C-alpha cells in the first residue's frame, strides 16, 4: 500500500479512506474472475516479470511488450507505450499525471478518489486491464498480439454481456420490512403476488398467483392445488415457483415477484440460507429467473397480499387449477378494489 502518498489527511482518515478504497474495489460490478485479477493486480501479486525475478523464476525483469523498462504493474498498465495505446482507444481514463501511477493500485486510487469515476467506468477499466494482461500472457507464449482497439472492444462486449446477465437478478432493491399495503409497479413492469395455503386434511397445498400492471389492473390470476403433504414454508416456495411458470406461460418478462414470507424472500435475495426443506426449490426459482429479462424480489406484509391469499385459499375447493386472463373472478373483486384504493391514497 502506498499510504505515504495520501498521508496529508492524517493517519486515522488514511485508515478509513483505505478501508473505503478496498471496499470499493471489492464491490465493483465485475465477474468473479475479473475481480480476482483486480485483487491480485492491486495487491501486486500478479506474476509480473519483476515479481517472477524476485522469485528467481526468470532472469530478466523487462517488459514483455516494450522491453524498455522494468515490468511493474505501474509500467504495464500505465507508462508502457502499449498501455498508452490501449487507453487512448478507450474513453475510460484521461492520459494525465503519468508519474503518479507507480502501480495498478495507484491507478485505481486515482480513478476512485481523484477522478471520482463512476463505478461502471472503473469496472470497465479493470476489464480492459484484464484483457491487456491476458493478451500479454498470450504474447509471452507465442500468441498473437491484439490491437488496443481490439482489446477495448472485447472488454466492452464482455462487460455488456455480464451486465445483461446480472440485471435480471437484481434484488434487495425492495424494502423488506414494514410494507403493509400493496404498491403498484412502475410503468412497463408487472407485479406478481404469490401466496400459499395448507390444506392439511386433504394432504395438499394451494397456491395463488396474481399478475397486475402499474394501474393495479388484473392481467392474469391462477389458483392451483398441489397434491403433496407440504408445510407452510414449502407452500410459499411452491407459490413463487408457480408464479414464475405462470409468467412464462403468459409471456411477461419484466416483473416484481412479491410474497409475504420473509423466510423465502431472504432466501431468494441470498441474504440468508433457506431452510433445507425448500433449498432445492429456491435454487430452481433462482435458475428460472435467468429466463426472464428483469426479475425483482419483494416482500409485503400479509395485509398487502390479500388477492394472492384468496386465490391460494380458493384452491381448496377445486380439483386442479383455474386460470383467468384479463378477467376478474368475482371473489377477488373486493380485494382488488381495496388494493387500488389504498395505493392511490384515496
Interacting residues toward Zn ion by CB under 5 A: 63, 65-66, 80
Q: Residue 156 CB, nearest distance to Zn ion (Å)?
A: 24
What is the rounded CA–CA span in Å between residue 86 and residue 17?
30
In the complex, least distance from residue 132 CB atom to Zn ion, rounded to whole angstroms: 11
Nearer to Zn ion, 139 or 322 (CB): 139
Nearest to Zn ion of 66, 316 (CB atom): 66
Q: Rounded to whole angstroms, how far apart are CA atoms 179 and 85? A: 53
Residue 210's nearest CA partner among 85, 300, 342 is 300
In the complex, the smallest distance separating the C-beta of residue 32 from Zn ion, rounded to whole angstroms, is 28
- DSSP letters for 73-123: HHIIIIISHHHHHHHHHSSSS----GGG-SSHHHHHHIIIIIS---HHHHH
Q: Which is nearer to Zn ion, 63 or 257 (CB)?
A: 63
Q: In terms of C-beta distances under 8 Å and separation of at least 24 residues, what long-range contacts does 54-58 make, across chains too? A: none
Beta-strand pair 294-299/254-259: parallel
41 or 207: CB nearest Zn ion = 41
Q: Largest Cα–Cα distance of the chain, in whole Å? A: 83
How far apart CA 263 and CA 302 sit, in angstroms, is 14
Rg for the chain (alpha carbons), in Å? 27
In angstroms, the first-to-last Cα distance of the chain is 58
CB of 41 to Zn ion, least distance (A): 16
Give min distance, CB of 71 to Zn ion, in A.
7
- Cβ nearer to Zn ion, comparing 76 with 312: 76
- 302-312 burial by CB neighbour count: b if 16+ within 10 A, else e? eebbbbbbbbb
Query: Which CB sits closer to Zn ion, 66 or 139?
Result: 66
Q: How far is CA 106 from CA 39, 75, 134, in A?
A: 13, 11, 21
Residue 134 or residue 266: which is nearer to Zn ion going by CB? 134
Report in angstroms how near the CB of residue 34 gets to Zn ion at its nearest.
Answer: 22
For Zn ion, the closer of residues 145 and 302 by Cβ is 145
Smallest distance from Zn ion to CB 65, Å: 4
Query: CB under 8 Å to 245, separation ≥6 — which residues?
Result: 288
CB of 128 to Zn ion, least distance (A): 16
Cα 14 from Cα 11, distance rounded (Å): 5
Amino acid at each position: 500500500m502506498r499510504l505515504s502518498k495520501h498521508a496529508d489527511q492524517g493517519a486515522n482518515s488514511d485508515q478509513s479512506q483505505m478501508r473505503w478504497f478496498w471496499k470499493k474495489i471489492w464491490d465493483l460490478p465485475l465477474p468473479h474472475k475479473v475481480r480476482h485479477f483486480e485483487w491480485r493486480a492491486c495487491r501486486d501479486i500478479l506474476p509480473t516479470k519483476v515479481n517472477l525475478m524476485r522469485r528467481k523464476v526468470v532472469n530478466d525483469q523487462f517488459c514483455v511488450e516494450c522491453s524498455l523498462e522494468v515490468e511493474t504493474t505501474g509500467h504495464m498498465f500505465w507508462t508502457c507505450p502499449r498501455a498508452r495505446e490501449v487507453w487512448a482507444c478507450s474513453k475510460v481514463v484521461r492520459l494525465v499525471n503519468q508519474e503518479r501511477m507507480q502501480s495498478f493500485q495507484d491507478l485505481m486510487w486515482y480513478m476512485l478518489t481523484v477522478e471520482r469515476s463512476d463505478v461502471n467506468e472503473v469496472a470497465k477499466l479493470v476489464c480492459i486491464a484484464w484483457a491487456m494482461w491476458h493478451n500479454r500472457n498470450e504474447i509471452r507464449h507465442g500468441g498473437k498480439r491484439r490491437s488496443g482497439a481490439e482489446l477495448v472492444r472485447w472488454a466492452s462486449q464482455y462487460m455488456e454481456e455480464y451486465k445483461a446477465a446480472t440485471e435480471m437478478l437484481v434484488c434487495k432493491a425492495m424494502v423488506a420490512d414494514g410494507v403493509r399495503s400493496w404498491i403498484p409497479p412502475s410503468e412497463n413492469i408487472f407485479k406478481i403476488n404469490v401466496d400459499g395455503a395448507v390444506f392439511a386434511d386433504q394432504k395438499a397445498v394451494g397456491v395463488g398467483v396474481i399478475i397486475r400492471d402499474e394501474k393495479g389492473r388484473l392481467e392474469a390470476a391462477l389458483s392451483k392445488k398441489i397434491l403433496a403433504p407440504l408445510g407452510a414454508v414449502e407452500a410459499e416456495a411452491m407459490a413463487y415457483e408457480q408464479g414464475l411458470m405462470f409468467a412464462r406461460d403468459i409471456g411477461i418478462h419484466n416483473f416484481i415477484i412479491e410474497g409475504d414470507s420473509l423466510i423465502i424472500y431472504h432466501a431468494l435475495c441470498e441474504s440468508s440460507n433457506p431452510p433445507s426443506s425448500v433449498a432445492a426449490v429456491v435454487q430452481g426459482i433462482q435458475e428460472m429467473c435467468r429466463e426472464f429479462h428483469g426479475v425483482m424480489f419483494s416482500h409485503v406484509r400479509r395485509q398487502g397480499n390479500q388477492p394472492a391469499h384468496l386465490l391460494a385459499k380458493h384452491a381448496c375447493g377445486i380439483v386442479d387449477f383455474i386460470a383467468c386472463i384479463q378477467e376478474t373472478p368475482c371473489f377477488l373483486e373486493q380485494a382488488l378494489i381495496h388494493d387500488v384504493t389504498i395505493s392511490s391514497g384515496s
